[in-house]
């Protein structure tokens, strides 16, 4: 079975072809237009998706060396995300499904992220704990089985990726913030400054990142512009260390409480080098196996959407042409 996956929930226009669970093409076009504004501008994202979607799908078909008539089904992200952006992918997918007379399935973006590790590791068996860390979400989810999830904890305010992006902006680090903070932090001392670890002893598995942003802002106000520039790498490394520390501590606590010996970390922030090394180190000390998809499958892509759609189709799930985009829907609903 050949599935076309389409993803357009934020600022990546992506398409992938999956054949019987194997990715045979994976095209991601990141919209550079948002760089000028230091963040994603929803209206510009929708317009860019409109321009790019057919081209990206064509590229995915060409790379897979198949024609559109050879596709058996379409999986498309339809929730949650920027509604205008989602609608571009959803409408394109619906038109294609109607024209080709093939089934279509709407995929939850976070459920898609939760399937990213399977792309290269189909032997992984649930149950396990998933930490989904992206620009819009920070959630711990108990992946009991395919389609069976329980929300264990989540951020009560900002997502970890959002904190990376906002702190990057405060530091004058170019958009996209997260990957660039990661780069700067490589030459910095993570112990140079001690930023707070909010909610670390909250007694639940929730997170809070908005206070961290404030802590960094207040700290920066105490420095001159030159001092910030001179210590940029240390500040970036210390902030990154605090975020990674919180995510790792909470994930390991949750895994232990739920008696799960596997943690799969996914979403854009899972590409972070320090989160990866700290999670591997502490998980192994606790007899837990930590797993991360390779970075290209951590950030938004359509391969994870195609894979998740394939699993949904196997379960007999299908959407119809009434399917539409929803800006915010929890994974546990
Ligand atoms: O999953 P994703 O591509 O899109 C959403 O669903 O939000 O995640 C994007 C987020 C952004 O906040 C970006 O700054 C962050 O992931 N990110 C990173 C890294 N790569 C992407 N954050 C820290 N370190 C990275 N290497
Ligand atoms: Zn995402």
Task: CATH number of the domain at 151, please.
Answer: 3.30.420.40
Same domain, 143 and 287: yes
Ligand 1 in reach of 84 Cβ (< 6 A): no
Residue 121 within any structural domain of the chain: no
Number of domains in the chain: 2
Query: Is 182 in the same domain as 276?
Result: yes
Q: How far is 305 from 28, CA to CA, in rounded Å?
A: 13
Residue 104 and residue 148 in one domain: no
Same domain, 98 and 42: yes
Instruction: Tell which atom from ligand 1 comes closest to the C-alpha of 240.
Output: 23
Give the strands of the sheet with 138-145, arranged side by side: 148-154, 138-145, 128-133, 262-266, 289-291
How far are the Cα atoms of 75, 119, 258, 274 from residue 304, in angstroms, in the given order?
10, 7, 26, 23
11 in ligand 1 pocket by Cβ < 6 Å? no
Query: What is the 3-state composition of the chain as percent helix, strand, coil, each rounded to the nearest 5?
Result: 45, 20, 35
Q: Residue 260: what pLDDT?
A: 98
pLDDT at 33: 85
Round to the nearest angstrom and report the end-to-end CA distance of the chain.
28
- Where do we find the tokens 């596997």? 262
For residue 95, is it within any domain?
yes
Ligand 1 pocket, 175 CB below 6 A?
Answer: no
Q: What span, in angstroms and rounded, lies between the C-alpha atoms of 236 and 234?
A: 5
Q: Is residue 257 part of a domain?
A: yes
Same domain, 157 and 257: yes
Give 135 Cα–ligand 1 centroid separation in angstroms: 5
Same domain, 205 and 99: no
The answer to whether residue 309 is domain-embedded is yes
Assess whether 168 and 131 both reside in one domain: yes
CA dihedral 40, 214, 247, 139 (to 10 degrees): -50
Would residue 22 count as lying in a domain?
yes
Residue 319 domain flag = no
In the prediction, which pLDDT does 332 show? Answer: 67
In short, whether 269's Cβ falls inside 6 Å of ligand 1 is yes
Residues 54 and 145 in one domain: no
Closest of 1, 37, 230 to residue 48, by C-alpha: 37
pLDDT score at 35: 85
Q: What domain range includes position 56?
A: 2-115+298-314
Q: Are residues 260 and 303 in the same domain?
A: no
**What is the reported pLDDT for 32?**
85
Is residue 120 situated within a structural domain?
no
| pLDDT number for residue 39 | 84
Assess whether the C-beta atom of 135 lies below 6 angstroms from ligand 1.
yes
Q: What is the CA radius of gyration of the chain?
A: 20
Instruction: Spell 137-167 as b/e; 16+ CB within 10 A means b.
Output: bbbbbbbeebeebeebbbbebbbbbbbbbbb
pLDDT of residue 34: 87
DSSP per-residue string spanning 63-104 = HTT--GGG--EEEEEEESS-HHHHHHHHHHHHHHHHHHT--E
- CA-wise closest residue to 286 among 253, 243, 264: 253
pLDDT by residue, tens only, the chain of 333 residues:
999 999 999 999 999 999 999 999 999 999 888 888 888 899 999 999 999 999 999 999 999 999 999 999 999 999 999 999 999 999 999 999 999 999 999 999 999 999 999 999 999 999 999 999 999 999 999 999 999 999 999 999 999 999 999 999 999 999 889 999 999 999 999 999 999 999 999 999 999 999 999 999 999 999 999 999 999 999 999 999 999 999 999 999 999 999 999 999 999 999 999 999 999 999 999 999 999 999 999 999 999 999 999 999 999 999 989 999 999 988 865
pTM of the model: 0.95
134 lines ligand 1 (CB under 6 A): yes
From 114, 115, 236, 299, give the residue whose CB has the most ligand 1 atoms within 8 Å, as the site to mutate.
299
| Judgement on whether residues 205 and 236 belong to the same structural domain of the protein | yes
Q: Are residues 143 and 274 in the same domain?
A: yes
Residues 169 and 105 in one domain: no
**Per the structure block, which two tokens stand in for 50?**
């409109």
- Two structure tokens written together for 89: 């992918």
């Amino acid at each position: 079975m050949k599935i076309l996956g389409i993803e357009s929930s934020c600022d990546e226009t992506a398409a992938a072809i999956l054949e019987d669970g194997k990715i045979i093409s994976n095209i991601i076009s990141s919209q550079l237009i948002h760089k000028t504004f230091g963040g994603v501008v929803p209206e510009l994202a929708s317009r860019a998706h409109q321009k790019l979607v057919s081209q990206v799908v064509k590229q995915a078909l060409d790379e897979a060396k198949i024609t559109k008539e050879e596709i058996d089904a379409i999986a498309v992200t339809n929730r949650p995300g920027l509604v205008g952006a989602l609608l571009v992918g959803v409408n394109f997918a619906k038109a294609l499904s109607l024209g080709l007379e093939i089934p279509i399935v709407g995929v939850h973006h976070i459920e898609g992220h939760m399937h990213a590790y399977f792309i290269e590791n189909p032997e992984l068996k649930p149950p396990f704990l998933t930490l989904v860390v992206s620009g819009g979400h920070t959630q711990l989810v108990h992946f009991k089985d395919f389609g069976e999830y329980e929300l264990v904890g989540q951020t009560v305010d900002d997502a970890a990726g959002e904190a990376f992006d906002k702190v990057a902006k405060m530091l004058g680090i170019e958009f996209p913030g997260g990957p660039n903070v990661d780069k700067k932090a490589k030459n910095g001392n993570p112990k140079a400054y001690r930023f707070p670890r909010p909610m670390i002893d909250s007694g639940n598995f929730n997170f809070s990142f908005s206070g961290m942003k404030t802590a960094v802002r207040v700290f920066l106000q105490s420095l001159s512009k030159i001092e910030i520039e001179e210590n940029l790498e240390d500040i970036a490394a210390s902030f990154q260390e605090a975020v990674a520390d919180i995510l790792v501590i909470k994930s390991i606590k949750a895994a232990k409480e739920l008696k799960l010996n596997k943690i799969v970390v996914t979403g854009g922030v899972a590409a972070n080098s320090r989160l990866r090394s700290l999670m591997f180190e502490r998980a192994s000390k606790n007899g837990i196996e930590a797993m991360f998809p390779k970075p290209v499958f951590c950030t938004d892509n359509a391969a994870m959407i195609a894979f998740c759609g394939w699993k949904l189709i196997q379960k007999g799930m299908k959407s119809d042409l009434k399917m539409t985009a929803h800006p915010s829907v929890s994974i546990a609903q």
